[in-house]
């Protein structure tokens, strides 16, 4: 196979801490690739007013494969106030670079595995009928439509008259007829059939290839009829090509109740953008939290791999970093899987599983310690020590 080049976008906050750890693991597992560094995130905004520089987009356009650390987002007014004076008042607006990359390259399929590693003290447990404690094995993969829905960005506070007039053609607008447009905020939840079919196909193909018996479509078609209905219809259509994979449908609200009752009953889940965002965090919470949750954003010509966690800037300034690098390491393994390096990806998984099961090396989140430099004296491993343990276990 031709040697690959991976665009590395550490970003800010803890992104630049965890991303190099994933690279160490990729090296250790024998993955030979070239890496190019690209800037993204808060520093780019603060100094130049652009969170996603053109060079980064060009590199992604060229190499089509990226590792992303994390990028801070702040409310609009605060973002503006942190710009250098000469860039203020020019109408520059901050936007989330990870969302911008997803949309720029149409990375419409997000894959978010939430799998418990046995022995993780953060795993979800529940009380059984006889009072004993059970630890169900969670093995869920959320397929989140990654570019549309409420992330369409088509929104207004005070919609212009043409938009208002168009809305007023809908009979349900009667209820709002006395509300002046300036008192109205509108965020369009746009679903398109091609995107629904693509996420449904990705979910069914994955279930088929990995031996999951069913796909659960998690939306709210009883109320949000048109958009949720379109995704469910796409799932029904795609399911016909996978007769041995069942299709289940559940509503998002019910799902967030069921997932702490019987999480072991779920496997592949497919959702729109916002519900998929919520569900992937909810399931991540059952398997150790965001320190264990990787994510892939995949399009037809580019793919980005990142931890689901954010930039957590308050944990970034430590002399010895203490954040858990596992989510980023697992994101690296997802990259390997994506480029066909299945065995190397599996080795990383097995190594993480062994470190977790061995119980000797635990980052502070795993010990439920409040993050502070003191945790190192309380038995917590540093970020680097955790990676070292994974490399050792390889
Ligand atoms: C995620 C994150 C992002 C999102 C944020 C950082 C914009 O929560 O990847 O799930 O909302 O998609
Ligand atoms: Mn999220």
Q: Determine the residue of 40, 94, 99, 313 to mutate for testing ligand 1's pocket, defined as the one with the most ligand atoms within 8 A of the Cβ atom.
A: 99
Angstrom distance (rounded) from CA 80 to CA 91: 9
Helix (H, G, I), strand (E, B) or coil at 132: coil
Confirm or reject: Cβ of 98 under 6 Å from ligand 1: yes
Is residue 99 in contact with ligand 1, taking CB distance under 6 Å? yes
In tens, the pLDDT along 35-55 reads: 999 999 999 999 999 999 999
Question: What CA–CA distance (Å, rounded) separates 120 from 111?
Answer: 22
For residue 73, give the ligand nearest its CA: 1
Q: Distance between CA atoms of 202 and 55, rounded to whole angstroms?
A: 30
Q: What ligand has the least distance to the C-alpha of 112?
A: 1
Q: CA torsion 344→113→11→3, rounded to 10°?
A: 30
The ligand 1 atom at the shortest distance from the C-alpha of residue 110 is 9
Whether 76 and 93 have beta carbons less than 8 Å apart is answered as yes
Please give the number of the atom of ligand 1 that sits closest to the Cα of 96: 7
Tokens 């019987």 locate to 262
Report yes or no: 348 and 336 within 8 Å, Cβ to Cβ. yes
Distance between CA atoms of residues 394 and 390, nearest Å: 6
CATH number for the domain formed by residue range(s) 124-150+191-286: 3.40.50
CATH number of 1-111+290-394: 3.40.718.10
Over residues 364-375, the mean pLDDT reads 95
Q: Quick: pLDDT tens for 5-16.
A: 999 999 999 999
Distances (CA, A) of 69 to 16, 38, 244, 305: 6, 11, 38, 9
146 closest CA partner among 189, 99, 187:
99
The CB of 306 under 6 Å from ligand 1? The reply is: no
Query: What pLDDT digit, counting tens, does each position of 195-250 carry?
Result: 999 999 999 999 999 999 999 999 999 999 999 999 999 999 999 999 999 999 99
Q: Give the mean model confidence (pLDDT) for residues 292-304.
A: 97
Q: Considering the entire predicted model, what is its pTM?
A: 0.95
Ligand 2 being an ion, which residues bring their Cβ within 5 A of it?
Answer: 277
CA of 280 to the centre of ligand 2 (A): 7
Pocket lining: 277 vs ligand 1, CB cutoff 6 Å:
yes
Q: What is the pLDDT of residue 95?
A: 87
388 C-beta closer than 6 A to ligand 1: no
Tokens of 107: 């990375």
C-beta separation of 133 from 92 below 8 A: no
What end-to-end distance do the CA atoms of the chain give, in Å? Answer: 23
User: What atom in ligand 1 is closest to the CA of residue 277?
Assistant: 10
Report the alpha-carbon distance of residue 318 to residue 332 in Å, rounded: 24
Nearest-CA residue for ligand 1 atom 9 is 308
Out of 61-70, 87-96, 130-139, 272-281, least confident range: 87-96
Which residue has tokens 């959702």?
Answer: 271
Q: What is the rounded average pLDDT of the residues 358-382?
A: 96
Cβ neighbourhood burial of 37 (10 Å; 0-12, 13-18, 19+): exposed
CA distance 218 to 231: 9
User: Do you know the residue count of the chain?
Assistant: 394
Rounded distance between C-alpha atoms, residue 263 and residue 271, angstroms: 17
Residue 73 structure tokens: 């987002």
pLDDT value, residue 91: 87
Give the pLDDT confidence score for residue 73 in this predicted structure.
Answer: 85
Name the residue ranges covered by the structural domains of the chain.
Answer: 1-111+290-394, 124-150+191-286, 154-187
Q: At residue 1, does pLDDT exceed 80?
A: no
Mean pLDDT of the chain: 96
Residue 310, ligand 1, Cβ within 6 A? yes
For residue 181 and ligand 1, the question of a CB distance below 6 A is answered with no
Residue 310 Cα: closest atom of ligand 1: 6
pLDDT (mean) for 272-297: 96
List pLDDT tens digits, range 24-35.
999 999 999 999
Residues 63-118 have pLDDT tens digits of: 999 999 999 988 878 888 999 989 988 888 888 899 999 999 999 999 999 999 99
Collect contacts of 87-94 with beta carbons under 8 A, ≥24 apart: 87/48, 87/49, 90/49, 92/49, 92/50, 94/45, 94/51
Pick the atom of ligand 1 nearest to 71's CA: 6
Any idea which ligand is nearest the CA of 327?
A: 1
pLDDT greater than 90 at residue 171: yes
Query: Which of 101, 107, 277 to mutate to test ligand 1, by most ligand atoms within 8 A of the CB atom?
Result: 277
pLDDT of residue 298 exceeding 80, the answer is yes
């Amino acid at each position: 196979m031709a040697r690959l080049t991976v665009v590395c976008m550490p970003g800010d906050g803890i992104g630049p801490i965890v991303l190099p750890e994933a690279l160490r693991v990729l090296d250790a597992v024998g993955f030979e690739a070239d890496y190019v560094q690209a800037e993204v995130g808060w520093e780019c905004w603060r100094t130049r007013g652009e969170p996603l520089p053109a060079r980064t987009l060009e590199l992604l356009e060229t190499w089509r494969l990226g590792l992303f650390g994390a990028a801070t987002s702040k409310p609009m007014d605060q973002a503006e106030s942190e710009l250098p004076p000469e860039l203020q008042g020019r109408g520059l607006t901050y936007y989330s670079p990870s969302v911008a990359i997803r949309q720029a390259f149409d990375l419409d399929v997000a894959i978010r595995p939430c799998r418990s590693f046995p022995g993780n003290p953060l795993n979800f447990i529940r009380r059984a009928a006889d009072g004993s404690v059970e630890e169900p094995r969670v093995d869920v993969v959320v397929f989140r439509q990654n570019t549309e829905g409420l992330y369409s960005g088509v929104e207004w506070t005070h919609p212009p008259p043409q938009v208002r007039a168009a809305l007023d053609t809908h009979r349900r607008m009667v209820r709002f007829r006395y509300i002046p447009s300036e008192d109205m905020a509108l965020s369009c939840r746009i679903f398109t059939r091609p995107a629904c079919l693509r996420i449904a196909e990705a979910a069914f193909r994955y279930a088929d290839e990995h031996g999951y018996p069913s796909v659960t479509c998690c939306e709210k078609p009883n109320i949000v009829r048109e958009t949720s209905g379109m995704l469910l219809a796409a799932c029904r259509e795609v399911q016909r090509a996978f007769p041995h994979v069942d299709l289940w449908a559940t509503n998002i609200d019910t799902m967030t109740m069921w997932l702490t009752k019987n999480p072991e009953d779920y496997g592949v889940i497919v959702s729109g953008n916002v519900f998929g965002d919520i569900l992937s965090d909810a399931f991540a919470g059952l398997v150790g939290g965001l320190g264990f949750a990787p994510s892939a954003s995949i399009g037809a010509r580019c793919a980005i791999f990142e931890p689901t966690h954010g930039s957590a800037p308050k944990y970034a300034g430590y002399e010895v970093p203490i954040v858990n690098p596992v989510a980023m390491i697992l994101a690296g393994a997802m990259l390997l899987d994506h480029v066909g390096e299945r065995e190397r990806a599996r080795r990383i998984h097995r190594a993480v599983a062994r470190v977790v099961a061995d119980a000797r090396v635990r980052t502070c989140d795993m010990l439920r310690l409040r993050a502070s430099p003191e945790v190192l004296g309380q038995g917590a491993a540093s970020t680097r020590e955790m990676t070292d343990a994974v490399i050792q276990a390889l």
